[in-house]
Amino acid sequence: MGQVRQRKKQKSSLPKARPKSKPKWANPKSNPVIAKNWDDRLTLAQNYRKLGLTVRLNAHTGGTEKALSQIAGLDNIAPSQHDPFAIVSSTSRTKIEPREVQVERDPTTGAILKISDPSWERINPLNDPLNDISDEEITSRSKPGNSTIFIQELEEQASMEAPKKGRRQSQKEQGWLQELVDKHGHDYGKMMRDRKLNVYQLSEGDIKSRIKKWMEATAAKEGPQP
């Protein structure tokens, strides 16, 4: 056998070779919503990109975010060479001419209550590029596409609660309940105070509900009596 020190010397310093466990292959088409929108001609990453999903949750998505210059309506925006914080409008700056507007005043105090001018609604005096984008463009962009509808279907499916499955009593528990009934009948107070059978010190109501469930399962298993 040898001493412990000698056996340690004979032990190899190299780690023991272990077979690598192959990762379990996940079937993306197991979900009916994904299977309905899946394209077999595309790869997994291409299908996920088309459906608005990401392949890797713990890493960057690969720079799929659009640049500011690629957004519709902001193509002509160029950074200012003089002031980096200046807001540059996509439209040419025009001089604002004086115009007539409708003014509503308070008949008693004469204070201005409302100024209405339809032509003033589309004027952008602060040259804000966000105001240059019309509401029609915003609504056209916000229309749900195929990926948005697909994600909504997935969210609806995830929000649906699965039916709850009741706990099934084991054969050992059923035998223990049978012993309690044979010894004490339906006196649940004595069952609760029985130290030998009620080892886990269950309450009277807990034992009663367990026995009720066991009797219902036994009656359903035996079937109706002729």
The domain of 44 spans 29-57
Residue 154 or 11, more confident: 154
Residues 175 and 213 in one domain: yes
Q: Which residues pair with 112 in a beta bridge?
A: 105
| pLDDT tens for each residue of 114-128 | 877 766 555 555 556
Measured between alpha carbons, how far is 53 from 34 in angstroms, rounded to an integer? Answer: 11
Q: What is the pLDDT of residue 140?
A: 47
Asked whether the beta carbons of 28 and 44 are under 8 A apart, the reply is: yes
Q: Enter the pTM of the model.
A: 0.35
183: in domain: yes
What is the domain count for the chain? 3
126: in domain: yes
- Tell me the residue type at 69: S
153: in domain: no
